[in-house]
Amino acid sequence: MCGCIVMSCSLFTVMYNSEISFHRFPADPEVRAQWLIKIRRENFSPVACTRVCSRHFKTGDFAVTAGGKRTLNRGAVPCLFAWNSFTIAAPDSDSEMDVQLAQDHDYCVTPTTSAVTDALSDENEALRRRVQELEHRLETLQLQSHFGLHRLAGSDEDIRFYTRLVHVFFK
């Protein structure tokens, strides 16, 4: 894996974080030679994955593209190293900010999980209505299939049909 090749730099991986960027050696031979001198690697030949991290450049050496990508300006040379007493300042612990969190807001919910949750809630509600409809329909069908006097009470013809058997035997 490629990383920063500056001696005593602890950033070994290209995918460190969003604040650190890694930069290839320039194609211009003069600027490339300046880079090699500055990083104290005079007899070193950079290869395709050789990189120098953004911690070794001044903040003015960068430009931000329209897409938000941070690029190195032409002719920029690394100049911030451990041997020239450059250190990254530790964040001041006294400068903590008071942050007000809204109690009615779920900070863990992302737009995608929110959309999925809403879709599942809608589907769940539709399925509940469907189950209630089917239960009502089942109840209706069960009532229709019961054989009893209440079923025959509405039709004189049905009563005659089911009661004539007795009439045939006792004639």
pLDDT digits (tens, 9 = 90+) for 67-116: 878 888 888 888 887 777 766 555 455 556 667 766 666 666 676 777 88
Whole-number Å distance between alpha carbons of 111 and 26? 41
Whole-number Å distance between alpha carbons of 78 and 73? 11
Asked if 53 and 9 count as a contact pair (C-beta separation under 8 A), the reply is yes
Tokens of 104: 């009615």
Residue 80 neighbours by CB distance under 10 Å: 17
Q: Which residues contact 56 (CB under 8 A, 6 or more apart)?
A: 4, 6, 9, 39, 78, 79, 80, 81
Domain limits, the chain:
1-87, 112-169
**Does pTM surpass 0.85?**
no
